[in-house]
Structure 1
Amino acid sequence: MQLHRIALAVAAAFPLSVLAQGIATEAQLKTVQVAGSRAPLDPNLPSNTASKTAEQLREQNIYNPEDIAVNLPSTSVRKRYMGDRNANVAGRSYGTLQPGRALVYLDGYLISNFLGRFDAPRWNMVNVEAIERVDALYGPFSAIYPGNSIGTTLIVTERKPKGLEASASIKLNQQGFNEYATSENYTSKQFSGRIAARTDSGLWYALSMQHQNSQGHPMGYANAVRGSTAGAFATPTVSSTAAAKAVTGILYDRDAQSRDRAVFGATGIDHNKQDTVNIRLGYEISATQEIEARVSWWHDDSTVRNTTYLRDAAGNPVWSGLVKDGSRQFTVAADAFAPSQRDETHRQLGATWKTKNTKGWNASVVATDYQIVNDAARQATLAQPLADLGGAGTVTRRDGTGWNTFEVQTTYTPSESDFGNGRHALVFGLHRNQYKLENVVNNATDWRNNETTLNQNYYGKTTITALYAQDAWKINPDWMLTTGLRFENFESADGSQFFAGPPVAANAFPSRSITATSPKLSLAWAATDDITVKTSLGRGVRFPNVDELFNGTKTGASITTSDPNLRPEVSDSVELSAEREWGTHWIRASLFRDDVTDTILRQTDATVTPTVTRVSNVDRVLTQGLELVWSTRDVGVKGFDLGGSFTWTDAEVKANAANPAQVGKKWLRIPAQRYTLQASYRPNAAWVLGAAYRWASSPFNTELNIDNNPDTFGGVSSVSQLDLKASWKFAKHWEWGVGINNVANRPAWQSHTMPQRSVQTELRYSLL
């Protein structure tokens, strides 16, 4: 197509420079600083940013890599338990049900996973020992980034060796969990190690590995809801009384919509073992030119068990069937307590070439390829303990699914003297990514070890090709104008769906092609020596991902259907911000407005059996708010620092022809208020003490805002969590840390139950 020919011409005409999916070069990021020691606004990053360094991350409890983002402004991470593979990111204008609005990169390589409904960034590829810093960028204000940046962009950087380096850590986390009739302690263990070196020849390497053995708490509860679950709360009749088994152990509460609910037992108790190996190689060809390659491998072995609360008259566990409790009768489905297993292996390849001139033209090329080598999710259709002996089930395979990216980028950086005399800093780039979906479900006569006939399958590809340009023009010492334009071509192809009936669906979808243009504009004014005011406007076009277009599921209880004709989300965003730094204090205030048309959402129709969840467009959602971020150092005493963020948000559906009743309702999973407060104290070089408190109001979890009882399993509740951490370097190279997450043991839910109080300890050795 024409765009591809234009792209090749641009690539040939300019000096090559790159970053995977537009991660800024070193020259562009050099002025991004942590809050509390911020430098002037970076002219090449018109987006507001927030950062944390490895030293700052010592102030908080880190078990999994996604923990590094939990205290960033206006950011939340849905980490349900230690070792969770579905830790989705949410921001100030989107919730965890919209993972397509979160971009995450590791050293310039894309690790955002847009292949499944709840597929989170592949945090597993990050080695905790190697993290140097994390940077967050907000909104679609830079032309460098693709349309997924309408939410949040997280950039994780791993440390490059300066000489011989070695480090290792052992972590132990124990959670005491108590909910319904489940009262258990869950233990998780992790070992992480790294060795790296740089030689005089310019060659450097880094080898890291990580092993964790984690035990999660229940992710769900087998239950029945009055008025929603067929036959629930029925009065036993004469004819059925004989068939219904009398049991004890049924617990009663109300669900998120205040309907009567009976709870039969705990489900989704995951025990996972994960291994990650990363190899990085680099070579400085010259003082201004470097190449780098990366190979990452991750394996997960997961077993999910369940626990029934029901007991018959003899005290034996009851797992399924017609049961009665006093005057109430229920049917416990045969698969309500069905166990599952998952065995998956992923690998990522990446290569980078770049130049490192301090001024003038620079260039880089980045390519990456991520593949799910093996993924077999085995699901029984019978409850334990019968299923432990075998029996029918299904096996879902995603072997061969993955994505690849390629990007070339060229930048021009004027000298400081030129930059102050009306000169321009330029960025030009070409980007391409492709996602491939292969999701096959087979029947099995023995769910543990065989596969027989085809049950359902889902295939498809999406490709995005983009050209972009950005100009940072320092009009004079006080004014900076940044303009940008991104032109994108989206293609979907090879889409098909099949599932056996009833009903039966067998569809092959025609290819599609969409083009979009996203202009950007930012004007920054240095009002005084310590105050900067900035206005940013940007359009971002977030194309539907391959999962939203083609993926689906069909079980006995529900059907999820995608829509191959989805329209892209278009966000027109405005942000007015002012920041001031004086002495040891820094503060930023931002007014933001995100006006999104054709927001993509999964909406469930529970009035039919089986329930049907459809991926569809919502005509218009408007989000407006205020964000305050601040920090201050040496408060009252040297070494005592404070910081935090406050975000007030109003997100409302303004138009939806497909469901007019939704107009005027609040958008899903965006809290109206959220606050983060962090404190740290370094009395000397050996000790670091840290505390972090997070609070967020309860958002809605239903399109019509009918969930009026959010503080329960299935609801999305408020969050109130205090974490404490102490770290002590007790000898040369040695450090010991201990921390408590959720000190007050305040319960919280995001449909699933979030972690309760846990204690974590870590022993670390570092040779740097």
Structure 2
Amino acid sequence: MTKYAPLLSAAAFAALGFFDSGALAQESEGEAVEEGVEEVVVWGDAHGSREAGYASPISVLTQEDFAAINVATTEDVVKYEPSIVIRRRFIGDSNGTMGIRGSNMFQTSRSMVFADGVPLHYLLQSRWSGAPRWTMVSASEIARAEVIYGPFSAEYGGNAMGGVVVIESAIPQKREFHFDSSLYNQDFAAYGFDDTVSGYKTFLSYGDKLGDLSLYLSYNHLENAAQPQSYFYGAGVSSSGPVPVTGAVTGKDSRGNPQLWFGDSGVEDTATDNYKVKLAYNFDDWSALLNVAYEDRGTVADARNSYLRDSNGNRVWSGTVEQGGQVFAVPASRMGVSELERDSLSVGLRLRGDLSERSRLEFNINEFQVLRDETRSSGRNPRDPAYTPDGQVNDYGDTGWQTADAKLTVDGVLLPGVTLVSGLRYEAYELNLDVYRSSHWRAGSQDSYSSRSGGETGLAAAFVQAGWDINEQWNLTAGLRYEDWQSDKGYYSDDDPATPAFDIVQAPSQSRSEASPKLSIGYLPSRDWNFRYSIARAYRFPIVEELFSQYQAYNSINEANPDLLPEDGLHQNLMVERLTERGSVRVNLFTETIDNGIESQSTVLPGGASIRTFIPVDEVETDGIEFIANVYGFADGKLDMRFNLAWTDSVTVRNAADPTLEGMRSVRMPEWRGNLMLDYQLRDNWDLGANLQYASDSFGRTDNTDTEDNVYGAQDGYTRLGLKSTYDLENGIALGLGVDNLTDEIAYVAHPWPGRTWYFNLSYDY
């Protein structure tokens, strides 16, 4: 721990006894026990911090906890939980990446998301392309969510270095119909853009129970316009005869250098349709759940803005220009437009049942296919006088994954109080990306290859974990996970113009095996206190993009690195928990040491283009403290509160590739994060909620030179206040009004966070 840890931990421990009066209203993990709440049936296992098999810090959310959140999409449900950041730049963003604890928001393969046992995490790509497929699950169908911190359970591999989000949806127990619709409105102003953008969501679901069969059908349509996500400045050049212009916005970049900003990416229009079928069937002591989800997603980014005007008042879209004596280039491709079409299909099957009074068996099978993922881009803006239909097409083919696992749980093994969990898991991933030159980008013509890359990875794992209730005060959990990983069929292009064929390089294959031990010791001196120390080794193997992705697009070049080794992490957590009569207070002290951390490192070239590759960072150390207070039933039982504050210190200790980076803070890792959710029951049918989200400044560059605040490209701190009110009318109708970012704070996480956003909600239940 760093020198500040003792001071912070002492302050946190002093607060443990703060909330300690009134009637018991809530279990420590947040499961509702209030009388009169209708039972919600889910098929997932609930965890408890006092159980012997508990090895990881866990935060649990039920439907009652969602009341203070303006929930538009699934990631909204968990974005206020401790040590979590979700980079959702606008409602409907397909790049809603998640970071947990010492894993930043672009280290997407260090966190996992499951919904009804089906993976939503995208372990094929990283950074913005590796965001979980949140929209494969509609927020309106969620019954419960758990956040499991760190890789302390042998049930999860190294992709749980940050943590795991486990979502469970409700299973219909009777005939039901649900409808909800939301309108969104955002005012946004930055650089040369000042406008209002809006959108809406419509969700329909039907459920029924016919004997032993439960049926659930749903349709979710989300359509929204986003504020501009990128802003462009020109690279200085020496040229004779530049075109005189006006309109460029004077400002600074994230490193404090003065720049002339000449345009932005304009409003993006996104539309997503999600179709879901769930069939649940009970027979004897067994149950089966079939989960089929289809997503159709489209994005149109055809409204790029040029701020520049020539002497005749015409917009300037490309070329070499001059303003105020400064000559700079406007690359034509920066103002190009694009369209995305993506279709995805996920099929999952969960089967579980009792083998005997003391043993249970569970199977999960999933297949995820990218049916179509095509991005068509123009080489110039259609309003550019030099425009032609030439462009580029990015096409993902034969991309997706298959997973299967089996888990056996046996109680009372060898000794009373011992529960043994063992299992097997198999994962196979494939990604293929072809980039084409196109003579007609809008039609999607694929005339010749510009680059090609792809490959496969596979993982076979076995684990065993035993939880032992030694006595009323002590318990022990020990586990071991063995993983056998391989990469295969990797390739990338290295074309020789002198040969007639497009040349492909076959990348070398790899295979590695690792064993990850886990240990957790719990001490419960009384019913009110709970102490637990956990330690775990975890290995996170490279994903397909990190190994094989190599391409050259208009503004970026990516180099493959097929020889990457797995990340090697040692994780520790000390938890102190105090149960009170109104909830719980918890402190977690955690430390992580990651060797061979796979980091995307890039260099910006003149004109704004970048070249990047995945290079291992030899050692990164992260220390942190979380203070969490979940307290229920204030003010005559009407006020509930969830509060958390996290301090994190993450530093590069060794980096042979560039020793000058040693001692630098890890990128996109704020030192402080905090969240507050308040829910007040004004009347039986009227609910008032408030939420507050805080983060301190961080860095986006590994050399920590990006210190300028409130500019495009910065990693700003922010304080965002939200309000929400829901009023239940008779006959199943409810009205809601909410706002996020009430103070309209404009901050950047490289791209701009949303401005003040208003929500209007209408729902109906039958």
SS of 1:633 mapped into structure 2: strand
- Asked whether the equivalents of residues 322 and 330 of structure 1 are also in contact (C-alpha less than 8 Å), the reply is yes
Which residue type is aligned with residue 671 of structure 2?
A
Distance in 2, matches of 1:134 and 1:505, equals 48
Q: What whole-Å deviation, never above 9, does each CA across 1:83-119 have from its counterpart, x for those lacking one? A: 1001000111111121111100110011111222322
Q: Is 1:62 aligned to residue 71 of structure 2?
A: yes
Which residue type is aligned with residue 581 of structure 2?
G
Q: Structure 1: which 5+ runs fail to align?
A: 1-29
Partner of 1:715: 714
Partner of 1:488: 483
Distance in 1, matches of 2:72 and 2:735, equals 14
* 1:634 Cα offset (Å): 2.2
Q: What whole-Å deviation, never above 9, does each CA across 1:638-696 have from its counterpart, x for those lacking one? A: 21122210111111111111111111111111111111111110133211111111111
Distance in 2, matches of 1:387 and 1:537, equals 63
Partner of 1:5: none
SS of 1:124 mapped into structure 2: helix
Q: TM-score, normalised by structure 2?
A: 0.91
Q: Is 1:639 aligned to residue 641 of structure 2?
A: no
Distance in 1, matches of 2:244 and 2:650, equals 48
- Asked whether the equivalents of residues 450 and 552 of structure 2 are also in contact (C-alpha less than 8 Å), the reply is no
- Asked whether the equivalents of residues 69 and 76 of structure 1 are also in contact (C-alpha less than 8 Å), the reply is no
Distance 1:77 1:473, change over 3 A: same
Q: Give the alignment partner of residue 292 of structure 1, picking from 274, 289, 292.
A: 289
Partner of 2:61: 52
Distance in 2, matches of 1:505 and 1:527, equals 68
- Asked whether the equivalents of residues 390 and 448 of structure 1 are also in contact (C-alpha less than 8 Å), the reply is no
Aligned ranges for residues 102-141 of structure 1 at < 5 Å? 102-117=111-126, 118=128, 119-141=130-152
Q: Give the alignment partner of residue 306 of structure 2, picking from 281, 284, 308.
A: 308
Distance 1:40 1:328, change over 3 A: closer
Q: Structure 2: which 5+ runs fail to align?
A: 1-25, 34-46
Partner of 1:11: none
Higher mean C-alpha deviation, range 46-55 or range 590-599? 46-55
Q: Give the alignment partner of residue 217 of structure 2, picking from 207, 210, 218.
A: 207
- Asked whether the equivalents of residues 180 and 763 of structure 2 are also in contact (C-alpha less than 8 Å), the reply is yes
Partner of 1:185: 196
Q: TM-score, normalised by structure 1?
A: 0.91
Q: Give the alignment partner of residue 43 of structure 1, picking from 15, 40, 52.
A: 52
SS of 2:267 mapped into structure 1: strand
* 1:607 Cα offset (Å): 6.2
% identity of equivalent residues: 26
Partner of 2:458: 463
Distance in 1, matches of 2:168 and 2:745, equals 33
Partner of 1:620: 619
Q: Is 1:162 aligned to residue 160 of structure 2?
A: no
* 1:356 Cα offset (Å): 4.9
Distance 1:99 1:501, change over 3 A: farther
Higher mean C-alpha deviation, range 343-352 or range 462-471? 343-352
* 1:390 Cα offset (Å): 5.5
SS of 1:178 mapped into structure 2: strand
Partner of 1:7: none
* 1:502 Cα offset (Å): 8.8
Which residue type is aligned with residue 727 of structure 1?
T
Which residue type is aligned with residue 473 of structure 1?
W
CA RMSD of aligned residues (A): 2.1
Aligned ranges for residues 214-363 of structure 1 at < 5 Å? 214-224=224-234, 229-231=235-237, 240-241=240-241, 244-267=242-265, 269-286=267-284, 288-305=285-302, 306-356=304-354, 359-363=357-361
What is the number of residues matched between the two proteins?
Answer: 720
Which residue type is aligned with residue 34 of structure 1?
G
Distance 1:35 1:505, change over 3 A: farther
Q: What whole-Å deviation, never above 9, does each CA across 1:298-338 have from its counterpart, x for those lacking one? A: 00121102111111222221111121112111111111210
- Asked whether the equivalents of residues 483 and 522 of structure 1 are also in contact (C-alpha less than 8 Å), the reply is yes
Partner of 1:435: 429
Q: Is 1:146 aligned to residue 157 of structure 2?
A: yes
Aligned ranges for residues 574-723 of structure 1 at < 5 Å? 574-606=572-604, 611-723=610-722
* 1:558 Cα offset (Å): 3.1
Distance 1:434 1:711, change over 3 A: same
Distance in 2, matches of 1:701 and 1:650, equals 15
Q: What whole-Å deviation, never above 9, does each CA across 1:714-766 have from its counterpart, x for those lacking one? A: 01110210011001102221111110000011121111011010100110011
Distance in 1, matches of 2:568 and 2:266, equals 36
Which residue type is aligned with residue 726 of structure 1?
S
SS of 1:57 mapped into structure 2: helix
Distance in 1, matches of 2:648 and 2:440, equals 50
Distance in 1, matches of 2:677 and 2:264, equals 35
Which residue type is aligned with residue 706 of structure 1?
T
Q: Give the alignment partner of residue 440 of structure 2, picking from 440, 446, 451.
A: 446
Which residue type is aligned with residue 488 of structure 2?
A
- Asked whether the equivalents of residues 461 and 546 of structure 1 are also in contact (C-alpha less than 8 Å), the reply is yes
Distance in 1, matches of 2:257 and 2:605, equals 15
- Asked whether the equivalents of residues 36 and 632 of structure 1 are also in contact (C-alpha less than 8 Å), the reply is no
Distance in 2, matches of 1:32 and 1:486, equals 29
- Asked whether the equivalents of residues 36 and 584 of structure 1 are also in contact (C-alpha less than 8 Å), the reply is no
- Asked whether the equivalents of residues 595 and 618 of structure 2 are also in contact (C-alpha less than 8 Å), the reply is yes
Partner of 2:15: none
Distance in 2, matches of 1:469 and 1:710, equals 48
- Asked whether the equivalents of residues 28 and 579 of structure 2 are also in contact (C-alpha less than 8 Å), the reply is no
Partner of 2:39: none
Q: What whole-Å deviation, never above 9, does each CA across 1:479-516 have from its counterpart, x for those lacking one? A: 11000000000000000001547999842112210000
* 1:50 Cα offset (Å): 0.5
Higher mean C-alpha deviation, range 323-332 or range 69-78? 323-332
Which residue type is aligned with residue 293 of structure 1?
L
Aligned ranges for residues 330-409 of structure 1 at < 5 Å? 330-356=328-354, 359-386=357-384, 391-409=389-407
Distance 1:568 1:528, change over 3 A: same
Partner of 1:520: 518
Distance 1:591 1:653, change over 3 A: same
- Asked whether the equivalents of residues 216 and 269 of structure 1 are also in contact (C-alpha less than 8 Å), the reply is yes
SS of 1:451 mapped into structure 2: coil
Partner of 2:98: 89
Q: Give the alignment partner of residue 108 of structure 2, picking from 82, 99, 103.
A: 99
Distance in 1, matches of 2:404 and 2:135, equals 22
Which residue type is aligned with residue 296 of structure 2?
H
Partner of 1:3: none
